Amino acid sequence: MGGRGASSSAGSGGNSNSSLGGGSKSSTLREYESQHLNDQKESGLLIDESGNVLKEFASGNEKSVMGTKEDLKMMNGATFTHNHPIETTISETDIANGIVQGNLAELRATNPSGRVHILTNNGASLDQRRAFVANYGNQFMRANNNANRKISQGQNIDKQAYVSDFMSNWMANHASEYGLEFRIDQI
């Protein structure tokens, strides 16, 4: 799950870190996200509403942490958090796997700067979730095209930052149209 691709076997099952999952949902998330803030590879944590760890995903690579089809079934109504080793927002693959297929209640991605990108499912239907990820893909292409145009015009922009900010703004302004909510918090 997470990152730019998923479908293969993942990390360890259950609570592989006994210090996690003993508190509330917010304290479990805060602890895990703080611990993995500067990791160079993605890793993730799936927890239930009470903060109990359903699965901790071992480090994937710099672009994704993998999950299985069985993991997607566990996601229904749960929260998944993972780190992004670079300053990017939640990806299309994160949303397609977690929100659409997994029906997560909440999807989170933490950056090295401590920014936590949070997409909350407020009871969106499957059709709404699918429409959101489809429109996300269209907007992502638009953001890339805009960035490429700016660069070709001689503007000195960081393409990755531009696209990430564009997508964060788009989600913040349009997620509610699909029964979702997007916000950015700080650790």
Mean pLDDT estimate for the chain = 87
Q: Which residue has the higher pLDDT, 127 or 22?
A: 127
pLDDT higher than 80, residue 25: yes
CB-based contacts of 16, cutoff 8 Å, min separation 6: 56, 58
3-class secondary structure, 169: helix
CA-to-CA separations, 2 to 21, 50, 106, 158, 162, in angstroms, rounded: 20, 22, 13, 23, 21
Q: 70-125 pLDDT, tens per residue?
A: 888 899 999 999 999 999 999 999 999 999 999 999 999 999 999 999 999 999 99
Structural tokens at position 167: 């997508």
CA-to-CA separations, 85 to 77, 133, 141, 177, in angstroms, rounded: 26, 23, 22, 30
Residues of the chain above pLDDT 70, percent: 83
pLDDT of res. 14: 39
Question: Where do we find the tokens 């936590």?
Answer: 116
